[in-house]
Amino acid sequence: MSYPSIRHNPDNRHFFLSLAGVLVGFGVLMVHSASITSWPTEFERVYLTKHLQFLIVAVLAATAAGCMPARFWFKAAPWLFVATLILLGLVLVPGIGTEVNGAQRWLRFAGFSMQPSELAKLTLPLFLARTAIFARDRIRHFFFGTVPYVVPAALTIGLVILEPDLGTSVFLIGSAALTLFFAGWPIHNFVLGASAAVSGVVFLIFSQPYRLRRVTDFVSVWTNFAHSDAWQLRQSLITLGSGGFWGVGLGRGQQKLSFLPESNTDFVFAVVGEELGLAGTAGLCLLWCGIFWTGVRLFRTLPGNCFASVVSLTLLTQIVGQALLNAAVVTALVPTTGIPHPLVSYGGSSLVVTVVSFGIIVSLSRADRRTDSIVLE
């Protein structure tokens, strides 16, 4: 099998990383602004300090990831996946996992906390892509082209559902689907898989009253806004609308002062809309478009269904897709999911995983056919 010559353009990587750096800096600014409370205290400084601590860890980890040879991720994928499954299992063990607001999703140690489900956003695509490369000649077989992919995905998603975390579970379903799509999985498998996934999600929604209420609250926002019980979504739309075109000014937003819940995490995009207006939210969207465009260009000379391309395009698409999903939640286009805005929302695990994803993308973009044929063939 012959491939076109692979030429690396460091300028593309520099531009890609520069845009990511701008987004990271903007996130630090918005975390501090969105954490300001109505009573001047050191509360907002705590959030900023913790965010910066996680950012340091994220940058160090991403630097290490970016320096790794591309073949490292191919060889390490099974071990990283197994480690993630172990952590997902440990988080469910009483006394080891930490329960917050009825959900047991965190592991805490040495003053830090982490969500293993966030790690799955990295390790699941790596493992599925590696499996697809090994079984490329059998990917269209009914049994051998289905079971090796469905079983690891089902194990991961099942453990996340038990936490419970339906939003992340649905996101991981999308991540797995993206990986298999880029790897060349047959379309009829997607049809069958989508049918099963939709049925399962509908069942899980109706099995818990709080999940069903999120759907009914979402509908009520559009059918009876003035009397809707969806306080968070109502305040989110009010926050966005109060910013106008140019916004009220950075740090001068009023809705974050105890009116808008989760203003520095899941709904930070609304704070951007209030303080920086439509110009700010549009600029943020354009920045994400720039990251996606420059990221895709890093792999334009690589074979489309190789390990490096499949993993990188999956990670890049899911990061940008998560930003789009968060914006859709904040603007009441989809029900509330609890998915943060990558790099902009406060949150340690999400920040570290997202920044490390950029490091892995850069690492894989340096794949060379002479030394990394295993990830290119």
Does 228 score more than 70 pLDDT? Answer: no
> Residue for token digits 């799955």?
120
* Residues contacting residue 172 through CB under 8 Å, at least 6 positions apart: 117, 120, 121, 124, 153, 156, 157, 160
Span 254-264, pLDDT tens digits: 888 878 888 88
Sequential DSSP letters for 302-335: S-TTSHHHHHHHHHHHHHHHHHHHHHHHHTTSS-
Span 309-322, pLDDT tens digits: 999 999 999 999 99
Residue extents of the structural domains in the chain: 18-375
Does 229 score more than 50 pLDDT? Answer: yes
Span 35-84, pLDDT tens digits: 876 555 665 677 788 889 999 999 999 999 999 998 899 999 999 999 99
Backbone torsions φ then ψ of 100, nearest 5 degrees: -135, 125
pLDDT at 296: 92
pLDDT at 43: 59
Does 295 score more than 90 pLDDT? Answer: yes
Largest CA distance in the chain: 66
Sign of CA dihedral 37, 38, 42, 43: negative
**Quick one: pLDDT band at residue 372, thresholds 50, 70, 90?**
low
Span 327-344, pLDDT tens digits: 999 998 888 888 899 999
The predicted model scores a pTM of 0.90
Strand partners, 113: 108
- C-alpha 53/C-alpha 107 separation (Å) is 17
- C-alpha 348/C-alpha 55 separation (Å) is 8
**Quick one: pLDDT band at residue 290, thresholds 50, 70, 90?**
very high
Span 156-206, pLDDT tens digits: 999 999 988 888 999 999 999 999 999 888 888 888 888 888 898 888 888
- C-alpha 209/C-alpha 206 separation (Å) is 7
